[in-house]
Amino acid sequence: MHFWLGALRAVIELWLLCALGQAALALLAGSRREQNPIYRLFALLTAPPCRLLAACLPRGAPVWLVNALMFVLFLLLWLGIAFFRQFA
């Protein structure tokens, strides 16, 4: 059980770090961020959870809101798994 929780936590951590890297590159590159190959890699890795969350939100929700909610939800999930692993 601890192995699977650790593996899930590692995947969530990967998504969190990719989301942080994508946000940092968006700030640094500005409007030319779509031409940056690293930004495109981070966007590719964070696309599945963003699409899942966007499907739960009303249509027309801004992209920044979907990304921010994804980050907050995954951060809470990551912390919850860490708490559960510690005391289970």
CA dihedral 19, 35, 37, 51 (to 10 degrees): 40
- pLDDT one-digit tens code per residue, 45-88: 999 999 999 899 898 888 888 889 999 999 999 999 999 988 87
pLDDT at 1 over 90: no
Residues 62, 55: contact at Cβ < 8 Å?
no
Residue 37's pLDDT is what? 94
**Sign (positive or negative) of CA dihedral 17, 83, 10, 40:** negative
- pLDDT one-digit tens code per residue, 4-49: 999 999 999 999 999 999 999 989 988 898 999 999 999 999 999 9
Output the pTM of the full model: 0.84
